[in-house]
Every structure is written in structure tokens, then in C-alpha cells.
Amino acid sequence: MHYELIIFDWDGTLSDSAGAIVRSIGLACEMLEVVKPSEKEMRSIIGLGLDEAFMKLFDALPKKRSAALQEQFREAYLTMVDDITLFDGVESGIKMLHQHGYKLAVATGKSRRGLDNALRKSRLTDFFSVTKTMDECFSKPHPQMANEIMEQLFIEKENTLMVGDSSYDLEMAINAGIDSVAVAYGSQEPENLKSFSPKKILHNPHELFDWLRLNG
């Protein structure tokens, strides 16, 4: 199967940011004296938009309390964001796919400001034709991000592949009617990803980009 378009998730797929997200949630909980969820629970929401993520983690909190917790999370995350890097092999892999003529896109639960900053820092802005964030679309697993990317690039579903590290990425692919590949080095364990029928589960970025080069 030859894919023309590859849509990537960002956090946990291209960027090694899961640890910073977990630490920031924990710090926010400590600041506001909210019971901290387990690390597994905190990792399970990576990939969702912030409202949806905090609704899932802290569903019993009053709305104002949840909003204050989100603000504390943002402040904590901003202190760590400069230390977040791409996974080893991602920069060369993205450039390789671009050189081979693939259209590349990002669909993420990050904010527009957060993604633009991350793209600038990683020097990958020019390699992605379209990017979609939680500010502009429904949160995953709603298919809006994927659908709008395909519409903007005039690429059919059968020629599109989603790459992500979470069940939300893979479920979005199912909802959009496109194939997916899962990575097991991000926020969720392989057993959480198998039930969403990805074409392959890859265990490091080098393996991922080798697979894409040979099978994409």
C-alpha cells in the first residue's frame, strides 16, 4: 500500500514530552492540594485536549477548581517546555519522508501556541503541510482533525496513514476511515493499542521510520 499522506501525533510520538506532562499534572495537584492520580492514569490522557483530559482525570472536581488546576498545569509545563526534545531519529526520519515526496501533517491535543513553539524549536515547521490543534478542532478521537487535513490536501482516505502513541490517535483513525500505525515508546502500553487494529506496533523511532520507508 502506498500512502501519500502521513499524519503524526506530536506528544509521545515525535516529541519526548510525556514525562513533562505527567510531572506538570503532579505539580498542579500539589499546588492546589488535589489528590494526584496514578502515573498510569496521567499517561492515559496524553493525546486528549486539555479540557477533555482534565475532565477524565478530575471528573469530581467543581468547574472552577478544575479550571484553576489547568492553569497551574500550564504554568508548570511552561517551566519544562525548553527541556523537551524530539525522540532520537525523529528529525532525520521526518526529513527523509519529506525528501521522498510524502505529504506530512500533525494532529495534536496541544494548543496552537504550544505546537507552533515546539515546531520552531525543533526546526520542523517547513516539513509539515498542515497542522491541526485542539484550539481549532474537536479533541481526538473525533475525526475532525484527520478529515480536515485530508480535505485541505485533496488526499483520499485510502492514501492516508495515522501514526500515534495513544488509543485516541488510533480511534480517531478508525473514525476517519484511515489506516494507522502505533508506537509503543510513548504514553500507552502496547496492550492498550492492539485492540484498535493498527497495521503495526513499532517500538522505537528508528524502527518506525524504517517501516514507513519500506511500507509507506
pLDDT, mean over the chain:
93
Q: Does the pLDDT of residue 50 top 80, yes or no?
A: yes
- Mean pLDDT in residue range 149-156: 98
- Could you report the per-residue pLDDT of 12-23, keeping only the tens digit for each? 999 998 889 999
Q: pLDDT over 90 for what percent of the chain?
A: 81
Q: Which residues contact 12 (CB under 8 A, 6 or more apart)?
A: 18, 46, 47, 164, 165, 166, 183, 185, 186, 187
pLDDT at 155: 97
Which position has the grid cell 495534536? 108
Rounded distance between C-alpha atoms, residue 15 and residue 88, angstroms: 9
The architecture that CATH gives domain 5-16+84-215 is 3-Layer(aba) Sandwich (3.40)
Give the CATH class of 18-82. mainly alpha
Read off the C-alpha cell for 216.
Answer: 509507506
- List the domain boundaries for the chain: 5-16+84-215, 18-82
